[in-house]
Amino acid sequence: MERLTGGALDERLREFLAEDAGSRDVTTETTVSEDARALGEVVAKSACVLSGLDVARRVFELTDPELGWASEVLAGAPVAAGARLAQLAGRARAMLTAERVALNLLQRMSGIATTTRRYVDAVAGTPCRILDTRKTAPGLRPFDRQAVRDGGGSNHRYDLSAMVLIKDNHRRLAGGVAAAVAAARAGAPPGMAIEVEVETADELEAAAAARVDWILIDNQKPETVARWCRIVRARPGAPKIEASGGITLERARAYAEAGADAVSVGALTHSVAAADISLEITPA
């Protein structure tokens, strides 16, 4: 599912809340009066690109349907350290019980959006797009992908059913690029995009000759990507080129200038540096 909304979102968030609360929030229930009211402020402790505030709000609303919420900060907006992101008013126990799940998602999503924006800025002025990968934490993919979009990046395939992407193990098991592409065309839904990962000049030539939609150049230097882009684009109906494989922020622009149509970065989601965001609660 590309984006969780409505009942599907609520179901996932309730699972997260149940995981965190266990049988009961023993600390809150023993130290805070059942009828206590509280005010809260969500505060950015570090500069970041905001993502997930709507998800955090829904977490709080699931524990307190009468929650008061106010915010004027939009997803994708850069915020400074010290910025007030939202104001809450409601039942104190519910606010405390929801706090960690809400902040975990908000911090993770804002961290992903912040890193994505840095990569997008690094290739600014070129046609190259920044793509995510399937290297996401199980259960969090819809949230991670939304964060990439909020950071200005683009999403690659959502799951294994979305397109054909022939990688090294597929090539070996199928008997090479040409055999793998032929088998995919015979068995995949008509019109489905086919992408082939290549690591050698021979594989590049085979993928280009097979007239696939995308060629993924993996683990090559920018100079090699530039040379291979010229080779591929000398053919009529040339496929799009994606570059991948340990591409750091410092090297992303070199791949964009080498001619890659897209650069995919697993680190956007598999090595998240969470934004520092907190909830400050006071008695109402």
- φ, ψ dihedrals at 57, nearest 5°: -60, -45
- One-letter identity of residue 233: R
pLDDT of 214: 98
Give residue 240's domain range. 126-270
Q: Is 1 domain-assigned?
A: no
Q: Are residues 233 and 180 in the same domain?
A: yes
The answer to whether residues 93 and 28 touch, using CB atoms and an 8 Å cutoff, is yes
Cα of 70 vs its chain's centroid, Å: 26
Q: What are phi and psi of 243, to 5 degrees?
A: -110, 140
pTM for this predicted structure: 0.96
Rg (CA), the chain: 23
Same domain, 157 and 191: yes
Q: Are residues 250 and 133 in the same domain?
A: yes
User: Cα–Cα distance between 120 and 106 in angstroms, integer?
Assistant: 21
Phi and psi angles of residue 79, each rounded to the nearest 5 degrees, phi first: -125, 150
238-257 confidence digits (pLDDT tens): 999 999 998 999 999 999 99
Alpha carbons 272 and 115: distance in angstroms, whole number: 8
Q: Which CATH number do you get for residue 46?
A: 3.90.1170.20
- The answer to whether residues 54 and 107 belong to one domain is yes
147 & 243 share domain: yes
Which residues are registered as beta bridge partners of 220? none
Query: Do 90 and 189 lie in a common domain?
Result: no
Question: What is the distance between the alpha carbons of residues 5 and 12, in angstroms, rounded to a whole number?
Answer: 10
Q: pLDDT tens track of the chain, all 284 residues?
A: 577 889 999 999 999 999 999 999 999 999 999 999 999 999 999 999 999 999 999 999 999 999 999 999 999 999 999 999 999 999 999 999 999 999 999 999 999 999 999 999 999 999 999 999 999 999 999 999 999 999 999 999 999 999 999 999 999 999 999 999 999 999 999 999 999 999 999 999 999 999 999 999 999 999 999 999 999 999 998 999 999 998 999 999 999 999 999 999 999 999 999 999 999 999 99
Q: What positions carry a catalytic annotation?
A: 100, 135, 167, 197, 218
Q: Are residues 41 and 157 in the same domain?
A: no
Residue 257, pLDDT score: 98
Phi, psi (degrees; rounded to nearest 5) at 213? -80, -35
Return the structure tokens found at 171: 């090539």
Q: Does the residue 98 lie in any domain?
A: yes
Helix (H, G, I), strand (E, B) or coil at 96: helix
Same domain, 33 and 148: no
Tokens of 101: 């799940």
What pLDDT score does 1 carry? 54
Supply the pLDDT for residue 147. 98
| CATH number of the domain bearing residue 224 | 3.20.20.70
Distance, in Å, from the CA atom of 276 to the CA atom of 274, rounded to the nearest integer, reads 6
Domain count, the chain: 2
Per-residue confidence (pLDDT) for residue 46, from 0 to 100: 96
Same domain, 76 and 150: no
